[in-house]
Amino acid sequence: MTALRFVLLFFLISFSASAQKDYKLWLQYNEVNNAVLVSEYRNNLKGITVLGNSETIKIAEKELKAGFQDMLGIASEIKSDIKEENTLIIGSQSNLNAEIKKELQSDFGKINEEGFIIKSISFKNKKQIIISGKNDVAVLYGVFNFLRILQTNKSVKNLNIADSPKTNIRILNHWDNLDRTVERGYAGFSLWNWQKLPDFIDQRYIDYARANASIGINGTVLTNVNANALILTPQYLEKVEALANVFRPYGIKVYLTARFSAPMEIGNLNTADPKDAQVINWWKNKAAEIYKRIPDFGGFLVKANSEGQPGPQNYGRDHVDGANMLADAVAPFGGVIMWRAFVYSEHDANDRAKQAYAEFQPYDGKFKENVIVQVKNGAIDFQPREPFHPLFGAMPKTPLMMEFQITQEYLGFSTHLVFLPKLFQEVLESDTYQKGKGSTVAKVVDGTLYQNKLTGIAGVANIGNDLNWTGHPFAQANWYGFGRLAWNPYLDSETIADEWLRCTFSNHENVIKPVKKMMIDSREAVVNYMTPLGLHHIMDTGHHYGPGPWVSNLSRPEWNPTYYHKADKNGIGFDRSKKGTNATAQYSAEVEKLFDNVETCPEKDLLWFHHVSWDYKLKNGQTLWNGLALKYQEGVNQVAEMQNVWKKTEKYIDSERFNEVEMLLEIQYKEAKWWRDACLLYFQQFSGKELPKGVEKPTQTLEYFKSLKFPFAPGNG
């Protein structure tokens, strides 16, 4: 072999090995190298006894074998009975023998249909570990959780876990178009290769389902909320069916977006009026046709009368009429309708932040039982920080599901490292006070505040066909963290970061401690360098890439950044207090009082609710202008610190992922400075004040920043 060929071969091998690492997400199954733990694991896991033989159980068995092989170097023998000591038994309740069933009786009482038990038991004087649940998918969840115990190097002695998901629908929303572009997608093209489906099953579909099952995600909406009716034609339904067949053994149901005008576009009707008998019938037949192919089809997600999408209002009907008509169509098959509350109208001159509440709150109690209203976490649109959406807690008779955005439309695309579980947790922990203190958003979402039966959390996916799925290696943590929070909305984001790092990179304390802190701080960093102190929606318009606080020429006022920051000679911020648009009145009395008063309004939300003067005194004694400038600088400094932290991990991380993150952090640093300089130069025109000490001089002029154009920024359709 010539030297050149050798080098080439070496390059190819090492490339594929580390690319594989990226691809393997949080399921690396790295070899455990703590000798004490290895011997504990080996002693307790001398074999696997598998009860049952469904496809799901076979997946669980395969997963365990792979995990044991990779982490412990043991090729596990599969035992068909449980006479031997120190084995791991997996099987659902109905497959357990009577004695074990009895032993676990009280544990089964603690879990719901999807919950699992992981327990050390003594059976006929022999020690065993058992993983069980009420069905095989629950067992699979248990298996993934057990493997996480090994991955995070925790002890397997005296296990006693009974864990259930707190929400029913834990679902990804793919904003994927049929041409494979992804709206607001920054990780390549859509995973769904419609042209090759249904006959070609890409290994990606299986790996996608496996990754989701490992974090408890149980649903996926395959198509964009800005929907195309073609997905509902037989030609495409056949392809959807093929995907549903792949996902089923992993406990994942398929859902589709329903374009409200589909009866006209693909059904030859001349109306889509939800009260029209032919329309009603068309949807009934369509539902029956889908369920014939996919008996466990989840239902429809609908964006209606929002941003130009068709809906019931085109026919003088309202959201209730539209949602209930579709709900009737899927009800006989157990389907649900997820009806989005993301609405705002170009004909409504009112504060955009008030519109969803104003329109939907009066509908409380009017939707059918199988309708759940899907509400974005904040009232505007997935900003780096928004106060919680006032609808949460305000519709006691209507199930509401949370919609988070995992893809980073407004948070630096897939080039910025931002750990989103921190943002999600902040929203979930917010207290709505709708039923007194402690009425958190999490309790609305998991149904415990108003005893809703139907509950759910949706995340707009950040997944594409990039080798590493999400564009940024750390964006994988946002997919992971979303799934964990959908399972348990009370989980702490630090716990999530800890788990993810151990499963994805390393258990070494020199990685865990600093990098965990870096992840946790990353969310505040992005707020600081983009939209500190409650600023929002000042991204360049259309693609939302980079700063554009100066944009003011778009046809709809609420698409313009100037509409949101309202900077002038007197100050900056959107007055949503009683003196302004009175959006604060949409919250419960306690929250309203808090937000309405500039003195008590949390400073992190100050400019969201108030227009304050440039000389306004912040809590730290700084004037608003100086405080704002210092926040922008702090954001930049935080990214520099992230770079320092990352550099120190080099010897613990494979070189490919290390280098990728290093390059991406460099981009983030440059862009953080771009944000700081562009925003401060622009706002300075109004404040007329010098930059305070400690804030670096801008690198370019305002004119330069304004001249930057990005006609091909990704994700913009």
Q: Which of 431, 370, 419, 427 is nearest to 402 (CA)?
A: 427
Residues in contact with ligand BDP, counted by CB under 6 A, come to a total of: 10
Strand partners, 300: 256, 337
Instruction: CB nearer to ligand BDP: give 45 or 356.
Output: 356
Using CA atoms, how far apart are residues 36 and 175, in angstroms rounded to an integer?
47
Contact 493, 422 (CB under 8 A): yes
Q: SS in 3 state form for 60-101?
A: HHHHHHHHHHHHHCCCCCEECCCCCCCEEEECCHHHCCHHHH
Ranked by CB distance to ligand BDP, the top (closest) residue is 381
Least distance between ligand BDP and beta carbon 456 (Å): 16
Instruction: CB nearer to ligand BDP: give 225 or 454.
Output: 225
Structural element, H or E, at residue 191? none
Tell me the C-alpha to C-alpha distance, in Å, between residue 633 and each of 397, 622, 640: 46, 14, 11
Instruction: CB nearer to ligand BDP: give 382 or 413.
Output: 382
Tell me the C-alpha to C-alpha distance, in Å, between residue 692 and each of 634, 636, 697: 13, 15, 10
Least distance between ligand BDP and beta carbon 178 (Å): 16
Residue carrying the six token digits 């030609």? 235
Provide the annotated active-site residues: 307, 381, 409
- Interaction of residue 183 with ligand BDP, rule CB under 6 A: yes
Q: What angle do CA 361, 364, 366 make, to 5 degrees?
A: 135
Tell me the C-alpha to C-alpha distance, in Å, between residue 165 and each of 142, 148, 252, 457, 461: 12, 16, 14, 11, 20
Q: In what order do the strands lie in the sheet with 160-163?
A: 78-79, 48-50, 87-90, 126-133, 116-123, 160-163
Instruction: CB nearer to ligand BDP: give 103 or 183.
Output: 183
Least distance between ligand BDP and beta carbon 107 (Å): 41
Using CA atoms, how far apart are residues 669 and 702, in angstroms rounded to an integer?
19
Helices (H), 505-560: 509-530
Which residues 319-348 are close enough to bind ligand BDP by CB under 6 A? 342
> Distance from first CA to last CA of the chain, Å, rounded?
48
Collapsing DSSP states into helix, strand and coil, what is residue 24? Answer: coil
Which residues 479-518 are close enough to bind ligand BDP by CB under 6 A? none
SS3 percent helix, strand, coil of the chain, rounded to 5, is 45, 10, 45
Tell me the C-alpha to C-alpha distance, in Å, between residue 669 and each of 413, 528, 534, 664: 14, 13, 22, 9
Using CA atoms, how far apart are residues 184 and 406, in angstroms rounded to an integer?
10
Question: Please, what is the angle between helix 509-530 and helix 421-429, to 10°?
Answer: 70
Strand partners, 405: 460
Strand partners, 116: 133, 163
Which residues 354-373 are close enough to bind ligand BDP by CB under 6 A? none
Using CA atoms, how far apart are residues 146 and 159, in angstroms rounded to an integer?
10
Using CA atoms, how far apart are residues 389 and 378, in angstroms rounded to an integer?
4
Instruction: CB nearer to ligand BDP: give 367 or 382.
Output: 382
- Which residues lie below 8 Å from residue 95, measured CB to CB, with a gap of 6+? 51, 52
Instruction: CB nearer to ligand BDP: give 307 or 654.
Output: 307
Q: What angle do CA 314, 316, 321 make, to 5 degrees?
A: 95
- Interaction of residue 300 with ligand BDP, rule CB under 6 A: no
Which residues 554-593 are close enough to bind ligand BDP by CB under 6 A? none
Least distance between ligand BDP and beta carbon 583 (Å): 19
Beta strands in 235-368 (DSSP E): 253-257, 299-302, 336-340
- Interaction of residue 184 with ligand BDP, rule CB under 6 A: yes
Residue 198, preceding bond cis, omega within 30 degrees?
yes
- Interaction of residue 700 with ligand BDP, rule CB under 6 A: no
Least distance between ligand BDP and beta carbon 222 (Å): 16
- Interaction of residue 181 with ligand BDP, rule CB under 6 A: no
Residue 459 phi, psi dihedral angles, 5° rounding? -130, 130
Least distance between ligand BDP and beta carbon 220 (Å): 17
Binding mask 95-114 for ligand BDP (x = CB under 6 A): --------------------
Contact 345, 556 (CB under 8 A): no
Least distance between ligand BDP and beta carbon 329 (Å): 22
Least distance between ligand BDP and beta carbon 302 (Å): 11
- Which residues lie below 8 Å from residue 358, measured CB to CB, with a gap of 6+? 350, 586
Instruction: CB nearer to ligand BDP: give 56 or 531.
Output: 531
Least distance between ligand BDP and beta carbon 714 (Å): 12
Binding mask 219-248 for ligand BDP (x = CB under 6 A): ------xx----------------------
Least distance between ligand BDP and beta carbon 480 (Å): 22
Instruction: CB nearer to ligand BDP: give 67 or 310.
Output: 310
Least distance between ligand BDP and beta carbon 560 (Å): 14
Least distance between ligand BDP and beta carbon 306 (Å): 6
Which residues 305-324 are close enough to bind ligand BDP by CB under 6 A? 307
Which residues 373-432 are close enough to bind ligand BDP by CB under 6 A? 381-382, 409
Rg (CA), the chain: 26
Instruction: CB nearer to ligand BDP: give 264 or 460.
Output: 460
* Burial of 202 (C-beta count, 10 Å sphere; 0-12/13-18/19+): middle
- Interaction of residue 352 with ligand BDP, rule CB under 6 A: no
- Interaction of residue 303 with ligand BDP, rule CB under 6 A: yes
CA dihedral 411, 415, 420, 426 (to 10 degrees): -30
The residues that touch ligand BDP, with contacts defined as CB under 6 A, are 183-184, 225-226, 303, 307, 342, 381-382, 409
